[in-house]
A and B are shown apart, each in its own frame.
Chain A
Amino acid sequence: MIRHCMPPRPGGANVRLLAGRTVATMAAALLAWPAAPANASDDAALALEVEHVVTRVLAIDGDPAYGEYLGGECVTCHQASGAASGIPPIRGLPVDYAVQAMIEYKLGARPNSVMKLMTARLSDEEIAALAVYIAGMED
Protein backbone atom coordinates (compact mmCIF):
# COMPACT_ATOMS: atom_id res chain seq x y z
CA MET A 1 0.00 0.00 0.00
CA ILE A 2 1.30 3.43 -0.89
CA ARG A 3 0.73 6.10 1.71
CA HIS A 4 0.17 9.67 0.72
CA CYS A 5 2.17 11.01 3.55
CA MET A 6 5.02 13.03 2.12
CA PRO A 7 4.78 16.82 2.26
CA PRO A 8 2.59 18.21 -0.49
CA ARG A 9 4.48 20.00 -3.23
CA PRO A 10 3.45 22.51 -5.81
CA GLY A 11 3.10 20.67 -9.07
CA GLY A 12 0.79 17.91 -7.97
CA ALA A 13 0.75 14.78 -5.90
CA ASN A 14 3.42 12.56 -7.36
CA VAL A 15 3.57 10.09 -4.52
CA ARG A 16 2.11 7.22 -6.45
CA LEU A 17 4.25 7.91 -9.47
CA LEU A 18 7.37 8.12 -7.36
CA ALA A 19 6.75 4.73 -5.86
CA GLY A 20 7.08 3.30 -9.35
CA ARG A 21 10.63 2.70 -10.39
CA THR A 22 10.74 3.14 -14.12
CA VAL A 23 13.01 5.81 -15.47
CA ALA A 24 10.17 7.40 -17.41
CA THR A 25 7.89 7.91 -14.41
CA MET A 26 10.78 9.12 -12.28
CA ALA A 27 11.81 11.68 -14.85
CA ALA A 28 8.22 12.86 -15.26
CA ALA A 29 7.83 13.20 -11.51
CA LEU A 30 11.08 15.05 -11.06
CA LEU A 31 10.14 17.56 -13.72
CA ALA A 32 7.20 18.59 -11.55
CA TRP A 33 9.42 19.50 -8.59
CA PRO A 34 10.44 23.09 -8.16
CA ALA A 35 13.58 22.10 -6.25
CA ALA A 36 14.82 19.76 -8.96
CA PRO A 37 17.46 21.05 -11.36
CA ALA A 38 15.94 23.26 -14.03
CA ASN A 39 17.64 21.52 -16.88
CA ALA A 40 15.69 18.58 -18.28
CA SER A 41 18.77 16.53 -19.00
CA ASP A 42 19.95 17.08 -15.42
CA ASP A 43 16.56 15.84 -14.24
CA ALA A 44 16.88 12.75 -16.34
CA ALA A 45 20.42 12.14 -15.10
CA LEU A 46 19.32 12.51 -11.48
CA ALA A 47 16.39 10.19 -12.07
CA LEU A 48 18.73 7.63 -13.57
CA GLU A 49 21.08 7.92 -10.62
CA VAL A 50 18.21 7.53 -8.13
CA GLU A 51 16.97 4.50 -10.04
CA HIS A 52 20.45 2.99 -10.12
CA VAL A 53 21.02 3.41 -6.38
CA VAL A 54 17.51 2.19 -5.49
CA THR A 55 18.09 -0.99 -7.48
CA ARG A 56 21.44 -1.51 -5.77
CA VAL A 57 20.01 -0.96 -2.26
CA LEU A 58 16.95 -3.16 -2.81
CA ALA A 59 19.32 -6.05 -3.57
CA ILE A 60 20.69 -5.82 -0.01
CA ASP A 61 19.20 -7.73 2.93
CA GLY A 62 18.90 -5.01 5.57
CA ASP A 63 20.06 -5.82 9.10
CA PRO A 64 17.01 -5.23 11.33
CA ALA A 65 19.08 -4.76 14.52
CA TYR A 66 21.24 -2.12 12.87
CA GLY A 67 18.12 -0.56 11.42
CA GLU A 68 16.54 -0.33 14.84
CA TYR A 69 19.61 1.46 16.22
CA LEU A 70 19.81 3.85 13.27
CA GLY A 71 16.04 4.31 13.43
CA GLY A 72 16.47 5.94 16.82
CA GLU A 73 17.38 9.00 14.78
CA CYS A 74 14.10 8.83 12.83
CA VAL A 75 11.76 8.61 15.80
CA THR A 76 13.00 11.84 17.36
CA CYS A 77 10.75 13.51 14.77
CA HIS A 78 8.66 10.78 13.11
CA GLN A 79 6.59 9.37 15.96
CA ALA A 80 6.99 5.63 16.50
CA SER A 81 3.24 5.37 17.09
CA GLY A 82 2.53 6.66 13.59
CA ALA A 83 0.90 9.82 14.96
CA ALA A 84 1.85 12.91 13.01
CA SER A 85 1.62 16.69 13.27
CA GLY A 86 3.75 18.72 10.92
CA ILE A 87 6.14 15.86 10.11
CA PRO A 88 4.93 12.95 7.96
CA PRO A 89 4.55 9.49 9.54
CA ILE A 90 6.93 6.74 8.42
CA ARG A 91 5.68 3.84 10.50
CA GLY A 92 5.09 0.82 8.31
CA LEU A 93 6.12 2.34 4.98
CA PRO A 94 6.88 -0.44 2.47
CA VAL A 95 10.59 -1.19 2.05
CA ASP A 96 10.79 -0.08 -1.56
CA TYR A 97 9.02 3.19 -0.82
CA ALA A 98 11.27 3.99 2.15
CA VAL A 99 14.40 3.13 0.17
CA GLN A 100 13.32 5.31 -2.72
CA ALA A 101 12.46 8.24 -0.46
CA MET A 102 15.74 8.10 1.48
CA ILE A 103 17.76 7.97 -1.73
CA GLU A 104 15.80 10.86 -3.23
CA TYR A 105 16.58 12.96 -0.15
CA LYS A 106 20.21 11.89 -0.17
CA LEU A 107 20.71 12.73 -3.85
CA GLY A 108 18.78 16.00 -3.69
CA ALA A 109 15.66 14.95 -5.61
CA ARG A 110 13.59 15.86 -2.53
CA PRO A 111 14.23 19.26 -0.97
CA ASN A 112 13.89 19.03 2.85
CA SER A 113 17.16 20.17 4.46
CA VAL A 114 16.77 18.07 7.62
CA MET A 115 16.10 14.91 5.62
CA LYS A 116 18.95 15.70 3.25
CA LEU A 117 21.19 15.99 6.31
CA MET A 118 19.93 12.78 7.88
CA THR A 119 20.47 10.77 4.68
CA ALA A 120 23.63 12.47 3.42
CA ARG A 121 26.05 9.97 4.94
CA LEU A 122 23.92 6.83 4.93
CA SER A 123 25.58 3.90 3.18
CA ASP A 124 23.62 1.47 1.00
CA GLU A 125 23.63 -1.02 3.88
CA GLU A 126 22.33 1.60 6.31
CA ILE A 127 19.48 2.61 3.98
CA ALA A 128 18.56 -1.05 3.55
CA ALA A 129 18.66 -1.61 7.32
CA LEU A 130 16.55 1.48 8.00
CA ALA A 131 13.96 0.48 5.42
CA VAL A 132 13.56 -2.93 7.07
CA TYR A 133 13.17 -1.23 10.45
CA ILE A 134 10.65 1.31 9.14
CA ALA A 135 8.56 -1.36 7.40
CA GLY A 136 8.59 -3.44 10.59
CA MET A 137 7.47 -0.63 12.90
CA GLU A 138 3.87 -1.88 12.56
CA ASP A 139 4.71 -5.30 14.01
Chain B
Amino acid sequence: MSTTRTGTISRRSFGLLAGTGVASLALPTYLRAQDKPRVVIVGGGAGGATAAKYVAKDSKGAIDVTLIEDSDTFTTCFFSNLYLGGYRDFNSITHGYDALVSTYGIRKVTGLAMAVDRMAKTVTMADGAVVPYDRLLLSPGIDIIYGSVPGYSEDAAETAPHAWKAGPQTELLKARLDALTDGQNIVMIAPPNPYRCPPGPYERVSMMAHVLKSKGFTNSKIFVIDPKDKFSKQGLFQEGWDKHYPGMVEWYGPDVHGGIKSVDVAAGTVETDLDTFEGALLNIIPAQKAGAIAAAAGVAGDSGFCPIDAASMRSTMDEAIFVIGDASIAGDMPKSGFSANSQAKVAAMTIRADLTGSKAFPAKYSNTCWSLIDTDDGVKVGAQYEPKEGKIASVEGFISQTGEDAALRKATYEESIGWYDGIVADMFS
Protein backbone atom coordinates (compact mmCIF):
# COMPACT_ATOMS: atom_id res chain seq x y z
CA MET B 1 0.00 0.00 0.00
CA SER B 2 1.47 3.30 -1.01
CA THR B 3 1.51 6.15 1.38
CA THR B 4 2.44 9.73 0.95
CA ARG B 5 5.30 11.19 2.93
CA THR B 6 2.91 12.27 5.62
CA GLY B 7 1.47 8.79 5.80
CA THR B 8 -1.94 9.70 4.48
CA ILE B 9 -3.63 8.07 1.53
CA SER B 10 -5.83 10.00 -0.83
CA ARG B 11 -9.40 8.87 -1.33
CA ARG B 12 -8.62 8.17 -4.97
CA SER B 13 -5.67 5.88 -4.31
CA PHE B 14 -7.67 4.07 -1.64
CA GLY B 15 -10.35 3.44 -4.24
CA LEU B 16 -7.78 2.09 -6.68
CA LEU B 17 -6.37 -0.22 -4.07
CA ALA B 18 -9.79 -1.45 -3.10
CA GLY B 19 -10.46 -2.24 -6.73
CA THR B 20 -7.45 -4.52 -7.08
CA GLY B 21 -9.31 -7.62 -6.04
CA VAL B 22 -12.02 -9.11 -3.88
CA ALA B 23 -9.55 -11.33 -2.05
CA SER B 24 -7.61 -8.37 -0.73
CA LEU B 25 -10.80 -6.78 0.55
CA ALA B 26 -11.53 -9.79 2.69
CA LEU B 27 -8.38 -9.20 4.69
CA PRO B 28 -8.02 -6.54 7.34
CA THR B 29 -6.39 -3.46 5.90
CA TYR B 30 -3.24 -3.94 7.91
CA LEU B 31 -2.62 -7.38 6.43
CA ARG B 32 -2.88 -6.21 2.85
CA ALA B 33 0.54 -4.70 2.93
CA GLN B 34 3.60 -4.45 5.12
CA ASP B 35 2.19 -1.33 6.71
CA LYS B 36 1.54 -1.40 10.42
CA PRO B 37 -2.05 -1.22 11.63
CA ARG B 38 -3.07 2.38 12.08
CA VAL B 39 -4.76 3.91 15.08
CA VAL B 40 -6.03 7.45 14.76
CA ILE B 41 -7.01 9.37 17.88
CA VAL B 42 -8.99 12.60 17.72
CA GLY B 43 -8.59 14.85 20.74
CA GLY B 44 -5.46 15.38 22.83
CA GLY B 45 -6.90 15.72 26.32
CA ALA B 46 -7.01 13.37 29.29
CA GLY B 47 -8.61 10.64 27.18
CA GLY B 48 -6.89 11.04 23.81
CA ALA B 49 -3.36 11.78 25.00
CA THR B 50 -3.47 8.83 27.41
CA ALA B 51 -4.86 6.48 24.76
CA ALA B 52 -2.24 7.55 22.22
CA LYS B 53 0.56 6.97 24.71
CA TYR B 54 -0.69 3.58 25.89
CA VAL B 55 -1.35 2.20 22.40
CA ALA B 56 2.10 3.33 21.24
CA LYS B 57 3.97 2.33 24.42
CA ASP B 58 2.38 -1.08 24.89
CA SER B 59 2.45 -2.09 21.21
CA LYS B 60 6.18 -1.35 21.20
CA GLY B 61 6.15 0.08 17.70
CA ALA B 62 3.80 -2.50 16.17
CA ILE B 63 1.02 0.04 15.72
CA ASP B 64 1.22 3.36 13.90
CA VAL B 65 -0.40 5.99 16.16
CA THR B 66 -1.63 9.39 14.95
CA LEU B 67 -2.96 11.98 17.39
CA ILE B 68 -5.12 14.68 15.84
CA GLU B 69 -5.50 17.76 18.01
CA ASP B 70 -6.24 21.31 16.96
CA SER B 71 -3.93 22.89 19.51
CA ASP B 72 -0.17 22.78 20.09
CA THR B 73 -0.71 22.72 23.82
CA PHE B 74 -3.37 21.46 26.17
CA THR B 75 -4.67 23.42 29.15
CA THR B 76 -6.31 21.11 31.67
CA CYS B 77 -9.82 21.88 32.80
CA PHE B 78 -8.93 20.15 36.04
CA PHE B 79 -7.07 22.62 38.26
CA SER B 80 -8.27 25.53 36.08
CA ASN B 81 -10.41 26.55 39.07
CA LEU B 82 -7.21 26.71 41.13
CA TYR B 83 -5.86 29.11 38.51
CA LEU B 84 -8.99 31.23 39.02
CA GLY B 85 -8.40 31.12 42.76
CA GLY B 86 -4.81 32.26 42.37
CA TYR B 87 -3.25 28.96 43.50
CA ARG B 88 -1.75 28.08 40.09
CA ASP B 89 -0.45 30.08 37.18
CA PHE B 90 -1.75 29.42 33.70
CA ASN B 91 1.52 27.87 32.48
CA SER B 92 1.40 25.27 35.22
CA ILE B 93 -1.86 23.86 33.83
CA THR B 94 -0.72 23.96 30.19
CA HIS B 95 1.18 21.06 28.63
CA GLY B 96 2.76 20.14 25.30
CA TYR B 97 2.89 17.00 23.18
CA ASP B 98 6.66 16.85 22.59
CA ALA B 99 7.31 13.76 24.71
CA LEU B 100 4.48 11.81 23.07
CA VAL B 101 6.16 12.43 19.73
CA SER B 102 9.79 11.99 20.75
CA THR B 103 9.48 9.17 23.31
CA TYR B 104 6.67 7.10 21.84
CA GLY B 105 6.86 7.88 18.13
CA ILE B 106 3.32 9.21 17.99
CA ARG B 107 2.56 11.34 14.96
CA LYS B 108 0.90 14.58 16.06
CA VAL B 109 -1.32 16.15 13.42
CA THR B 110 -2.22 19.70 14.39
CA GLY B 111 -5.54 20.61 12.88
CA LEU B 112 -9.25 20.14 13.12
CA ALA B 113 -10.84 16.79 12.25
CA MET B 114 -14.04 17.60 10.39
CA ALA B 115 -15.51 14.35 9.08
CA VAL B 116 -15.25 10.58 9.28
CA ASP B 117 -15.91 8.28 6.31
CA ARG B 118 -16.75 5.06 8.11
CA MET B 119 -16.91 3.01 4.89
CA ALA B 120 -13.47 4.13 3.73
CA LYS B 121 -12.18 4.36 7.33
CA THR B 122 -10.73 7.80 6.92
CA VAL B 123 -10.77 11.06 8.84
CA THR B 124 -10.92 14.26 6.81
CA MET B 125 -9.21 17.32 8.19
CA ALA B 126 -10.37 20.93 7.84
CA ASP B 127 -7.56 21.53 5.34
CA GLY B 128 -8.72 18.57 3.24
CA ALA B 129 -6.03 16.12 4.33
CA VAL B 130 -7.27 12.57 4.66
CA VAL B 131 -6.02 10.31 7.46
CA PRO B 132 -6.78 6.58 7.17
CA TYR B 133 -7.35 4.35 10.18
CA ASP B 134 -7.91 0.75 11.15
CA ARG B 135 -9.21 1.81 14.54
CA LEU B 136 -10.43 5.32 15.33
CA LEU B 137 -10.65 6.60 18.89
CA LEU B 138 -12.67 9.75 19.48
CA SER B 139 -11.98 11.73 22.64
CA PRO B 140 -13.29 15.15 21.61
CA GLY B 141 -14.59 16.29 24.97
CA ILE B 142 -17.64 18.50 25.04
CA ASP B 143 -19.24 21.14 22.90
CA ILE B 144 -21.25 23.91 24.54
CA ILE B 145 -24.95 24.11 23.64
CA TYR B 146 -25.17 27.90 23.74
CA GLY B 147 -28.88 27.97 22.93
CA SER B 148 -29.76 25.96 26.04
CA VAL B 149 -29.67 29.26 27.98
CA PRO B 150 -32.04 31.78 26.33
CA GLY B 151 -30.12 34.92 25.39
CA TYR B 152 -26.71 33.25 25.51
CA SER B 153 -24.50 32.69 22.44
CA GLU B 154 -20.92 32.15 21.37
CA ASP B 155 -20.59 35.93 20.98
CA ALA B 156 -22.12 36.51 24.40
CA ALA B 157 -19.45 34.21 25.87
CA GLU B 158 -16.91 36.94 25.10
CA THR B 159 -18.69 39.09 27.68
CA ALA B 160 -20.05 36.42 30.01
CA PRO B 161 -17.57 33.53 29.78
CA HIS B 162 -18.58 29.92 30.27
CA ALA B 163 -14.92 28.95 30.80
CA TRP B 164 -15.99 25.31 30.61
CA LYS B 165 -13.27 24.55 28.09
CA ALA B 166 -9.92 25.56 29.54
CA GLY B 167 -8.01 28.17 27.56
CA PRO B 168 -8.79 31.76 26.56
CA GLN B 169 -12.23 31.50 28.19
CA THR B 170 -10.58 30.64 31.51
CA GLU B 171 -8.20 33.59 31.20
CA LEU B 172 -11.11 35.87 30.39
CA LEU B 173 -13.04 34.73 33.45
CA LYS B 174 -9.95 35.25 35.64
CA ALA B 175 -9.43 38.77 34.27
CA ARG B 176 -13.08 39.65 34.86
CA LEU B 177 -13.00 38.16 38.36
CA ASP B 178 -9.84 40.06 39.29
CA ALA B 179 -11.34 43.34 38.02
CA LEU B 180 -14.36 43.22 40.36
CA THR B 181 -14.65 45.80 43.10
CA ASP B 182 -16.26 45.36 46.51
CA GLY B 183 -20.02 45.35 46.24
CA GLN B 184 -20.09 43.97 42.70
CA ASN B 185 -21.78 40.59 42.39
CA ILE B 186 -21.19 37.41 40.41
CA VAL B 187 -24.05 35.38 38.94
CA MET B 188 -23.30 31.83 37.85
CA ILE B 189 -25.73 29.70 35.90
CA ALA B 190 -24.77 26.09 36.65
CA PRO B 191 -25.25 23.45 33.95
CA PRO B 192 -27.90 20.71 33.78
CA ASN B 193 -26.87 17.04 33.91
CA PRO B 194 -24.98 15.44 32.29
CA TYR B 195 -22.00 17.76 32.12
CA ARG B 196 -18.21 17.84 32.40
CA CYS B 197 -16.88 17.74 35.97
CA PRO B 198 -19.87 17.44 38.34
CA PRO B 199 -18.22 19.25 41.30
CA GLY B 200 -16.56 21.81 38.98
CA PRO B 201 -19.10 24.65 39.17
CA TYR B 202 -19.12 24.51 42.96
CA GLU B 203 -15.36 24.36 43.30
CA ARG B 204 -15.34 27.39 40.99
CA VAL B 205 -17.78 29.22 43.27
CA SER B 206 -15.42 28.43 46.15
CA MET B 207 -12.39 29.74 44.28
CA MET B 208 -14.16 32.92 43.17
CA ALA B 209 -15.29 33.47 46.78
CA HIS B 210 -11.70 32.91 47.92
CA VAL B 211 -10.50 35.69 45.60
CA LEU B 212 -13.17 38.10 46.84
CA LYS B 213 -12.48 37.26 50.47
CA SER B 214 -8.71 37.61 49.96
CA LYS B 215 -9.26 41.18 48.79
CA GLY B 216 -11.25 41.94 51.90
CA PHE B 217 -14.54 42.33 50.05
CA THR B 218 -17.52 42.19 52.38
CA ASN B 219 -20.28 43.50 50.15
CA SER B 220 -20.03 41.25 47.08
CA LYS B 221 -22.17 38.16 46.62
CA ILE B 222 -22.07 35.11 44.40
CA PHE B 223 -25.48 33.94 43.23
CA VAL B 224 -25.65 30.41 41.82
CA ILE B 225 -28.71 29.74 39.69
CA ASP B 226 -28.93 25.99 39.28
CA PRO B 227 -31.24 23.99 37.01
CA LYS B 228 -30.59 20.97 39.28
CA ASP B 229 -32.19 20.42 42.66
CA LYS B 230 -28.98 18.95 44.10
CA PHE B 231 -25.32 18.77 43.15
CA SER B 232 -22.08 16.87 43.66
CA LYS B 233 -20.52 17.09 47.15
CA GLN B 234 -23.35 19.49 48.08
CA GLY B 235 -23.08 19.00 51.84
CA LEU B 236 -19.31 19.49 51.75
CA PHE B 237 -19.45 22.64 49.64
CA GLN B 238 -22.28 24.24 51.58
CA GLU B 239 -20.53 23.51 54.87
CA GLY B 240 -17.35 25.05 53.42
CA TRP B 241 -19.14 28.14 52.09
CA ASP B 242 -20.72 28.76 55.50
CA LYS B 243 -17.38 28.30 57.22
CA HIS B 244 -15.06 30.25 54.91
CA TYR B 245 -17.35 32.70 53.12
CA PRO B 246 -20.30 33.34 55.45
CA GLY B 247 -23.10 35.24 53.72
CA MET B 248 -21.27 35.48 50.40
CA VAL B 249 -22.64 32.51 48.43
CA GLU B 250 -26.35 32.10 47.72
CA TRP B 251 -27.38 28.93 45.90
CA TYR B 252 -30.80 28.72 44.27
CA GLY B 253 -32.27 25.42 43.11
CA PRO B 254 -35.17 25.21 40.66
CA ASP B 255 -37.76 24.90 43.42
CA VAL B 256 -36.75 28.40 44.57
CA HIS B 257 -35.84 30.29 41.38
CA GLY B 258 -38.64 28.62 39.41
CA GLY B 259 -36.79 28.42 36.12
CA ILE B 260 -34.17 30.36 34.13
CA LYS B 261 -36.01 32.58 31.66
CA SER B 262 -33.21 34.52 29.97
CA VAL B 263 -29.84 36.18 30.30
CA ASP B 264 -28.82 39.62 29.07
CA VAL B 265 -25.04 39.73 29.08
CA ALA B 266 -24.87 43.43 28.13
CA ALA B 267 -27.08 44.38 31.07
CA GLY B 268 -25.49 41.74 33.32
CA THR B 269 -28.79 40.19 34.31
CA VAL B 270 -30.21 36.70 34.70
CA GLU B 271 -33.99 36.59 34.78
CA THR B 272 -35.75 33.78 36.62
CA ASP B 273 -39.34 33.22 37.68
CA LEU B 274 -38.39 34.32 41.17
CA ASP B 275 -36.38 37.44 40.47
CA THR B 276 -33.85 39.12 38.21
CA PHE B 277 -30.28 38.63 39.43
CA GLU B 278 -27.74 41.28 38.58
CA GLY B 279 -23.99 40.73 38.37
CA ALA B 280 -20.96 42.68 37.20
CA LEU B 281 -19.71 39.23 36.19
CA LEU B 282 -21.90 36.52 34.67
CA ASN B 283 -20.50 33.01 34.39
CA ILE B 284 -22.92 31.07 32.22
CA ILE B 285 -22.32 27.31 31.98
CA PRO B 286 -24.80 25.90 29.46
CA ALA B 287 -25.84 22.34 28.66
CA GLN B 288 -23.26 20.23 26.83
CA LYS B 289 -22.94 17.52 24.21
CA ALA B 290 -20.16 15.41 22.72
CA GLY B 291 -17.57 17.30 20.64
CA ALA B 292 -18.72 17.88 17.05
CA ILE B 293 -16.64 15.12 15.46
CA ALA B 294 -18.76 12.52 17.30
CA ALA B 295 -21.94 13.64 15.59
CA ALA B 296 -20.08 14.09 12.29
CA ALA B 297 -18.98 10.44 12.56
CA GLY B 298 -22.55 9.40 13.30
CA VAL B 299 -21.68 7.77 16.62
CA ALA B 300 -23.59 10.16 18.92
CA GLY B 301 -27.04 9.22 20.14
CA ASP B 302 -30.14 11.34 20.69
CA SER B 303 -28.73 12.66 23.97
CA GLY B 304 -25.81 14.23 22.10
CA PHE B 305 -23.39 11.80 23.76
CA CYS B 306 -22.05 8.49 22.45
CA PRO B 307 -23.24 5.04 23.49
CA ILE B 308 -20.39 2.59 24.10
CA ASP B 309 -19.84 -1.04 25.02
CA ALA B 310 -19.18 -1.00 28.77
CA ALA B 311 -16.47 -3.68 28.54
CA SER B 312 -14.31 -1.93 25.95
CA MET B 313 -15.39 1.69 25.27
CA ARG B 314 -16.13 0.59 21.69
CA SER B 315 -18.92 2.52 19.98
CA THR B 316 -22.13 0.51 19.79
CA MET B 317 -22.61 2.04 16.33
CA ASP B 318 -19.29 1.11 14.68
CA GLU B 319 -16.91 -1.63 15.75
CA ALA B 320 -13.87 0.20 14.36
CA ILE B 321 -14.57 3.30 16.48
CA PHE B 322 -14.05 3.87 20.21
CA VAL B 323 -15.37 6.86 22.15
CA ILE B 324 -13.97 7.81 25.56
CA GLY B 325 -14.08 10.66 28.02
CA ASP B 326 -16.73 13.34 28.30
CA ALA B 327 -18.17 12.48 24.86
CA SER B 328 -19.13 8.95 25.92
CA ILE B 329 -22.12 7.67 27.83
CA ALA B 330 -20.14 5.95 30.55
CA GLY B 331 -22.92 4.82 32.88
CA ASP B 332 -22.20 5.74 36.48
CA MET B 333 -18.82 7.33 35.72
CA PRO B 334 -18.69 11.12 35.94
CA LYS B 335 -17.32 13.15 33.06
CA SER B 336 -13.88 13.88 34.44
CA GLY B 337 -10.24 13.87 33.40
CA PHE B 338 -9.60 10.93 35.73
CA SER B 339 -12.47 8.98 34.14
CA ALA B 340 -11.20 9.72 30.63
CA ASN B 341 -7.69 8.59 31.60
CA SER B 342 -9.09 5.37 33.05
CA GLN B 343 -11.30 4.70 30.03
CA ALA B 344 -8.35 5.36 27.71
CA LYS B 345 -6.44 2.43 29.20
CA VAL B 346 -9.32 0.01 28.64
CA ALA B 347 -9.79 1.26 25.07
CA ALA B 348 -6.05 1.11 24.33
CA MET B 349 -5.88 -2.47 25.56
CA THR B 350 -8.88 -3.46 23.44
CA ILE B 351 -7.51 -1.71 20.34
CA ARG B 352 -4.19 -3.53 20.70
CA ALA B 353 -6.03 -6.82 21.09
CA ASP B 354 -8.03 -6.04 17.94
CA LEU B 355 -4.99 -5.19 15.86
CA THR B 356 -2.13 -7.29 17.20
CA GLY B 357 -3.86 -10.13 19.03
CA SER B 358 -2.45 -9.05 22.40
CA LYS B 359 -4.32 -10.23 25.48
CA ALA B 360 -7.31 -8.25 26.71
CA PHE B 361 -8.11 -8.37 30.41
CA PRO B 362 -11.52 -7.63 31.98
CA ALA B 363 -12.29 -3.90 32.01
CA LYS B 364 -11.95 -1.99 35.28
CA TYR B 365 -12.42 1.72 35.66
CA SER B 366 -11.84 4.19 38.44
CA ASN B 367 -12.28 7.85 39.25
CA THR B 368 -11.50 10.28 42.02
CA CYS B 369 -12.44 13.97 41.97
CA TRP B 370 -10.68 16.32 44.37
CA SER B 371 -12.09 19.80 44.98
CA LEU B 372 -10.61 22.76 46.83
CA ILE B 373 -12.98 24.83 48.97
CA ASP B 374 -10.44 27.24 50.48
CA THR B 375 -6.72 27.17 51.24
CA ASP B 376 -5.76 23.69 52.52
CA ASP B 377 -9.40 22.62 52.62
CA GLY B 378 -9.63 19.81 50.07
CA VAL B 379 -12.38 17.21 49.67
CA LYS B 380 -12.69 14.19 47.42
CA VAL B 381 -15.13 11.64 46.05
CA GLY B 382 -14.14 8.44 44.29
CA ALA B 383 -15.46 5.18 42.96
CA GLN B 384 -14.53 2.05 41.08
CA TYR B 385 -16.57 0.79 38.18
CA GLU B 386 -17.05 -2.41 36.21
CA PRO B 387 -19.24 -3.42 33.28
CA LYS B 388 -22.49 -4.77 34.64
CA GLU B 389 -25.59 -5.67 32.65
CA GLY B 390 -24.49 -3.60 29.68
CA LYS B 391 -23.47 -0.44 31.50
CA ILE B 392 -20.50 0.85 33.47
CA ALA B 393 -21.69 0.50 37.05
CA SER B 394 -20.24 1.78 40.31
CA VAL B 395 -19.12 -1.12 42.48
CA GLU B 396 -17.35 0.66 45.36
CA GLY B 397 -16.98 4.26 46.45
CA PHE B 398 -16.20 6.85 49.12
CA ILE B 399 -16.71 10.55 49.79
CA SER B 400 -15.12 13.02 52.22
CA GLN B 401 -17.24 13.67 55.29
CA THR B 402 -18.51 16.95 56.68
CA GLY B 403 -16.76 17.98 59.89
CA GLU B 404 -13.40 16.46 58.98
CA ASP B 405 -10.43 17.98 60.82
CA ALA B 406 -8.10 20.51 59.20
CA ALA B 407 -5.16 18.10 59.02
CA LEU B 408 -7.15 15.60 56.92
CA ARG B 409 -8.44 18.35 54.62
CA LYS B 410 -4.90 19.64 54.12
CA ALA B 411 -3.66 16.11 53.37
CA THR B 412 -6.48 15.73 50.85
CA TYR B 413 -5.43 18.95 49.11
CA GLU B 414 -1.78 17.85 49.05
CA GLU B 415 -2.87 14.51 47.62
CA SER B 416 -4.70 16.37 44.84
CA ILE B 417 -1.49 18.14 43.87
CA GLY B 418 0.24 14.78 43.68
CA TRP B 419 -2.61 13.45 41.56
CA TYR B 420 -2.37 16.41 39.19
CA ASP B 421 1.34 15.87 38.65
CA GLY B 422 0.68 12.15 38.27
CA ILE B 423 -2.07 12.34 35.69
CA VAL B 424 -0.34 14.92 33.52
CA ALA B 425 2.82 12.78 33.61
CA ASP B 426 0.65 9.79 32.65
CA MET B 427 -0.81 11.80 29.74
CA PHE B 428 2.15 13.73 28.43
CA SER B 429 5.47 12.14 29.47
A residues near B (Cβ < 8 Å) are 7, 65-66, 68-70, 72-73, 75-81, 83-87, 112-114, 116-118, 120-121
Contact = CB atoms under 8 A, between A and B. Distances in A.
B409 to A, nearest CB: 13
Given A78-B422, A117-B384, 8 more contacts: A73-B342, A73-B366, A75-B422, A76-B419, A80-B426, A83-B425, A87-B415, A87-B422
A8 to B, nearest CB: 10
A85 B418 contact: yes
Contact of A79 (B382, B383, B425): B425
Nearest to B401: A113
Contacts of A114: 368, 380, 382, 398, 415
B421 A81 contact: no
Contacts of B397: 117
Contacts of B422: 75-79, 87
A114 B411 CA distance: 12
A45 to B, nearest CB: 23
Given A72-B54, A117-B397, A81 B425 contact: yes
Contacts of B81: none
A65 B396 CA distance: 25
Interface residues of B, number: 34
B107 interface: no
Contact of B384 (A69, A80, A87, A120): A120
Contacts of B395: 121
A117 B345 contact: no
16 contacts: A66-B361, A68-B58, A69-B345, A70-B364, A72-B345, A73-B342, A73-B345, A81-B425, A83-B425, A86-B417, A86-B421, A87-B422, A113-B398, A114-B415, A120-B384, A121-B395
Interface of B: 54, 58, 338, 341-342, 345, 349, 359, 361, 364, 366, 368, 380, 382-384, 395-398, 400, 411, 414-419, 421-423, 425-426, 429
A133 to B, nearest CB: 12
B341 A76 contact: yes
B359 A80 contact: no
A118 B366 contact: yes
Contacts of B384: 117-118, 120-121
Contact of A65 (B359, B366, B382): B359
Given A69-B361, A117-B398, A76 B414 contact: no
B418 A84 contact: yes
A84 B366 CA distance: 21
Contact of A77 (B359, B418, B429): B418
A70 B363 CA distance: 9
Contacts of A84: 418
B312 to A, nearest CB: 13
A114 B341 CA distance: 16
A77 B368 CA distance: 10
A85 B417 contact: yes
B396 A117 contact: yes
B416 A86 contact: yes
B12 to A, nearest CB: 41
Given A72-B54, A121-B384, A80 B425 contact: yes
B414 A86 contact: yes
Contacts of B349: 69
Residue in A68, A75, A76, A87 whose Cβ sees the most chain B Cβ within 10 Å: A76
A77 B423 contact: yes
Contact of B418 (A81, A87, A118): A87
Contacts of A68: 58
Given A66-B361, A86-B415, A121-B396, A76 B421 contact: no
B158 to A, nearest CB: 35
A114 B408 CA distance: 13
Task: Give the interface centre of A68, A70, A87 by most chain B CB atoms within 10 Å.
Answer: A87
Nearest to B365: A73
Contacts of B418: 77, 84-87
Nearest to A74: B422
A66 B349 CA distance: 11
A120 B415 contact: no
Q: Which 9 A/B pairs are nearest by Cβ-Cβ distance?
A: A86-B418, A87-B418, A72-B345, A77-B422, A86-B417, A86-B414, A113-B398, A79-B425, A69-B361
Contacts of A112: 415
Given A117-B398, A121-B396, A75 B426 contact: yes
Contacts of B411: 7
A70 B396 CA distance: 17
Nearest to A84: B418
B137 to A, nearest CB: 16
Contacts of B345: 69, 72-73
Most chain B beta-carbon contacts within 10 A, residue among A68, A79, A112 = A79
Contacts of A113: 380, 382, 398, 400
Contacts of A87: 415, 418-419, 421-422
B397 to A, nearest CB: 7
B56 to A, nearest CB: 14
A78 B425 CA distance: 9
Nearest to B363: A69
